[in-house]
């Protein structure tokens, strides 16, 4: 009798868990791989003329505990250049639908996919995934990401299914709320409106990964969040979208000739003038996480040995720069942006 009762309790617990809406915070806190299948009209998704036009899709998510959730959602293709050149473009998944009650709390999530279906494309996705994880080590006020093994299936049956590692990016409102903040709806900010220490951390991080594809005034690849109930607080900058970074070194990325770059992997500091004390305080944050960052890369099993070696070497070069007082002065003081 006791065994029957125990089995019933376990079964009821599983059913309750399977039927309950997903916890969006816990979803991005978990590290385990998620299996996901997306079924939609792939040809329509690839349409270069459509501009963020929603189309129906079925998503099936298999969680690490064995629970599988299958619901109807909406999605659209994101991006500009990659929509022109990639097999499957980056995707926005919208779970805010009456037809997706269990996944509803996830809100709207960006799904980052490989430009093509080759192993090289997959490795580039994994590199960018690691960059998000690196910034997580530096700052809790950052976008969490969740690795998925995604299969893309054409609902019209005109294209063979594609399976590759991809990842989901936490919703901006969830990220802000998790940190006691609110995401600003304002489209553009001046640097003076942002917290100086946090802005400098972003500037040096972008330099570390050799990414110049960002702008606060241009509202490009930076989100600004504000502490709740503090009208005097300045904006806290949160970076995202690193596929053009030298640390990724994607074959489709091109150097910015206007800034004098001759290679994607060339580091160019795009930070604004700061006092040396501000720079030193920021660099101390990076120094504190050095071993954790290198360990994160070395222990990421899905990355090929060559990619690990390249990323590790590139990060170590950054630490050589910030460990040299003369180079710190030259890079972050003398060569700071003039405008």
Residue with tokens 């060559």: 306
How high is the pLDDT of residue 7?
Answer: 43
Three-class DSSP category at 158: coil
Bridge-based pairing of strands 236-239 and 181-183 is unpaired
For 193-205, give the DSSP string.
GB-HHHHHHHHHH
Domain coordinates in residue numbering, the chain: 22-172, 195-334
Dihedral of CA atoms 63, 68, 74, 79 in degrees, nearest 10, equals: 30
Bridge-based pairing of strands 236-239 and 55-62 is unpaired
What average pLDDT does the chain have? 91
Low-confidence ranges of the chain (pLDDT < 70): 1-19, 49-51, 80-84, 339
Taking the C-alpha atoms of residue 106 and residue 197, their distance in angstroms, rounded to an integer, is 31
Three-class DSSP category at 67: coil
Taking the C-alpha atoms of residue 79 and residue 83, their distance in angstroms, rounded to an integer, is 6
Reported residue count of the chain is 339
pLDDT above 90 covers a percentage of the chain that reads: 78
Taking Cα atoms as reference points, which of 283, 272, 281, 261 lies closest to residue 327? Answer: 283
Question: For residue 266, how many C-alpha atoms fall within 13 Å in the half-sphere facing its CB?
Answer: 11
Rg (CA), the chain: 21
How high is the pLDDT of residue 5?
Answer: 45
How high is the pLDDT of residue 47?
Answer: 81
pLDDT digits (tens, 9 = 90+) for 23-33: 999 999 999 99
pLDDT above 70 covers a percentage of the chain that reads: 91
Bridge-based pairing of strands 34-40 and 145-154 is parallel
Taking the C-alpha atoms of residue 259 and residue 148, their distance in angstroms, rounded to an integer, is 36
């Amino acid at each position: 009798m006791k065994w029957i009762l125990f089995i019933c309790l376990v079964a009821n617990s599983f059913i309750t868990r399977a039927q309950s809406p997903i916890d969006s915070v816990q979803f991005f806190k978990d590290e385990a791989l998620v299996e996901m299948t997306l079924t939609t009209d792939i040809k329509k998704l690839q349409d270069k003329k459509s501009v963020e036009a929603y189309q129906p899709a079925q998503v099936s998510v298999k969680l690490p505990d064995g629970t599988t959730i299958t619901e109807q959602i909406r999605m659209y293709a994101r991006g500009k250049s990659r929509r022109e050149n990639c097999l499957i473009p980056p995707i926005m998944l919208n779970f805010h639908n009456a037809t997706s009650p269990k996944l509803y709390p996830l809100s709207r999530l960006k799904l980052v996919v490989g430009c093509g279906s080759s192993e090289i494309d997959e490795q580039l996705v994994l590199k960018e995934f690691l960059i998000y994880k690196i910034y997580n080590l530096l700052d809790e006020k950052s976008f969490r990401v969740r690795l998925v093994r995604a299969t893309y299936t054409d609902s019209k049956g005109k294209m063979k299914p594609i399976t590759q590692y991809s990842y989901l990016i936490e919703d901006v409102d969830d990220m802000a709320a998790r940190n006691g903040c609110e995401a600003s709806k304002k489209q553009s900010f001046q640097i003076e409106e942002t917290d100086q220490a946090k802005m400098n951390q972003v500037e040096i991080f972008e330099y570390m990964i050799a990414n110049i594809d960002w702008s606060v005034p241009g509202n490009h690849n930076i989100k600004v969040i504000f502490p709740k109930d503090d009208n005097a607080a300045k904006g806290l900058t949160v970076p995202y979208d690193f596929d053009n970074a030298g640390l990724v070194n994607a074959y489709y990325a091109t150097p910015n000739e206007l800034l004098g770059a001759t290679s994607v992997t060339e580091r160019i500091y795009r930070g604004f003038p700061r006092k040396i004390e501000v720079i030193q305080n920021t660099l101390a944050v990076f120094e504190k996480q050095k071993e954790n960052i290198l360990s994160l890369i070395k222990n990421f099993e899905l990355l090929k040995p060559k990619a690990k070696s390249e990323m590790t070497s590139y990060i170590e070069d950054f630490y050589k720069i910030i460990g040299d007082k003369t180079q710190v002065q030259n890079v972050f003081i003398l060569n700071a942006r003039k405008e």
